[in-house]
Amino acid sequence: MKSIYLFLYYAFAFYLPMQPFPGYKLFYKVRFFLVKKLLRKCGKNVIIKNKSHFGNGSRLIIGDYSQLGQNSRLGGEIKIGSHVLMGPDVVIMAVTHDISDLSKTMIDPTNPAIHDSVVIGDNVWIGTRVIILPGVSIGSNSVIGSGAVVTKSFPKNSIIGGVPAKLIKKRGEWKT
């Protein structure tokens, strides 16, 4: 049955428009219904924007009231907390390749993939076109600026950005 839901998601629901297109709330509900059947765990009132790609979903956990941004690409063991806001074109990868053995080519089937989970805390805002690499943890109440490439973990209440991403300030210190 899961393969039917997977087919319906990628063949149909994947392409349904989002806000402000008329009927977008119904399309969000259709995607949510299918995604809830696919993910390891899917919280309540999760919004999946169109063209969000997450493989078969078996290694993805999403908390309550969170969103996957439009055109997002998620791969590997990923845990996204509650109330996480994700902009469009975000990439979160928890899988990489072993590059230590020079005798193996990158596409060599005996070159093992390296799995290193990614954890996103609660109440995190991930800006447009952020890339989060394997093994990263982002603490709760953090903000990741658009275009950041996150190569290391950050504690709660962090405002981070840049390539590679670095701590800009702690939330609470920021004056608007």
Q: How many domains does the chain have?
A: 1
Within 8 A by CB and 6+ apart from 17, the residues are: 23, 24, 27, 50
The reply to whether 147 falls in a domain is yes
Closest CA to 170 of 127, 137, 139, 135: 139
Residue 58: pLDDT band with limits 50, 70, 90? very high
**Is residue 88 one of the residues assigned to a domain?**
yes
119 belongs to a structural domain: yes
Is residue 36 domain-resident? no
119 vs 157: CA distance, rounded Å: 15
Domain that holds residue 88: 50-170
Q: How many CB atoms lie within 10 A of CB 55?
A: 14
CB 68 within 8 A of CB 42: no
Residue 148 token pair: 């950041």
Residues in contact with 55: Cβ distance below 8 Å, sequence separation at least 6, in sequence order: 74, 75
Per the domain annotation, does 34 fall within a domain? no
Mean pLDDT of the chain: 94
Residue 151 lies in a domain: yes
pLDDT tens digits along 147-163: 999 999 999 999 999 99
Q: Looking at residue 101, what is its pLDDT? A: 83
User: What is the pTM (predicted TM-score) of this model?
Assistant: 0.92
CATH number at residue 107: 2.160.10.10
Is 115 known to be catalytic? no
Q: Which of 53, 83, 97, 115 is catalytic?
A: 97
In a domain, 15, yes or no: no
| 145 compared with 103, residue with greater pLDDT | 145
Q: How many CB atoms within 10 Å of residue 117?
A: 16
Region 17-40: mean pLDDT is: 94
Q: Is residue 117 part of a domain?
A: yes
Q: pLDDT tens, 83-129?
A: 999 999 999 999 988 888 888 888 888 878 889 999 999 999 999 99
Nearest to 3 by CA among 43, 44, 38: 38
Euclidean distance between CA atoms 23 and 44, whole angstroms: 20
